[in-house]
């Protein structure tokens, strides 16, 4: 067995789809783990929210990045945009079924991070 093959990634249940450079997993992974993507998914997992609520809730996000993030996640079918044709506009965002599946798997991670951050980062 050659050295280059010794540590080939072959994870049971993770059918070598994460590491190859040009695979969809990398793209989706980048969207989901993007700086703001995680926080948006986490926020919407708690409750349906309006644009301005998201802005307040996710402290530090700019309008540009909120728009960009929402658009990406919507295109990925993880977030649903519900617009009501009234004046002034009333738009809500919530998770699709797939977005919720993702949220459920993101949640334990976030809880661990929240619980351990103080100790790890110069608490």
Partner DNA sequence: CCGCATCCCTCCCGATACTG
Partner DNA sequence: CAGTATCGGGAGGGATGCGG
Residues near a second copy, by CB under 8 A: 4, 6-9, 11, 13-15, 17-21, 23-25, 27-30, 32-35, 38-39, 42-43, 46-47, 49, 53, 56-60, 76-78, 98, 101-102, 105-118, 120-123
- Residue 97 binding: pick among DNA, a second copy, none (C-beta 5-8 Å cut-off by kind): none
Q: Quick one: 97 exposed, middle or buried, by C-beta within 10 A (0-12, 13-18, 19+)?
A: exposed
Among 9, 14, 67, 109, binds DNA (CB under 7 A): 67
Residue 11, classed as helix, strand or coil, is strand
Sheet of 79-84, strand order: 49-50, 90-95, 79-84
Where are any strands of DSSP class E within 26-113?
49-50, 79-84, 90-95
- By beta-carbon proximity to DNA, the closer residue of 25 and 34 is 34
DSSP string for 69-92: HHHHHHHTTSEEEEEE--SS-EEE
For 91, the token pair is 């738009």
Among 65, 80, 94, 110, binds DNA (CB under 7 A): 65
User: Does 58 interact with DNA (rule: CB under 7 A)?
Assistant: no
Give 111's contacts (C-beta < 8 A, 6+ positions apart). none
User: Does 56 interact with DNA (rule: CB under 7 A)?
Assistant: no
- Residue 85 binding: pick among a second copy, DNA, none (C-beta 5-8 Å cut-off by kind): none
Give the interface with DNA as residue ranges (CB under 7 A). 34-36, 50-52, 60-65, 67-68, 71, 81, 83, 88-92
């Amino acid at each position: 067995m050659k050295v280059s093959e010794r540590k080939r990634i072959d994870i049971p249940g993770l059918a070598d789809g994460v590491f190859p450079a040009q695979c969809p997993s990398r793209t989706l992974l980048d969207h989901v783990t993007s700086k703001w993507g995680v926080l948006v998914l986490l926020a919407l997992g708690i409750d349906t929210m309006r644009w301005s609520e998201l802005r307040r809730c996710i402290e530090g996000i700019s309008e540009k990045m909120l728009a960009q993030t929402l658009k990406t996640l919507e295109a990925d079918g993880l977030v649903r945009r519900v617009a009501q044709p009234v004046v002034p506009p009333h738009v809500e965002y919530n998770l699709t079924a797939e977005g919720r599946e993702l949220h459920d798997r993101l949640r334990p991670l976030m809880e661990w991070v929240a619980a351990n951050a103080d100790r790890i980062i110069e608490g």
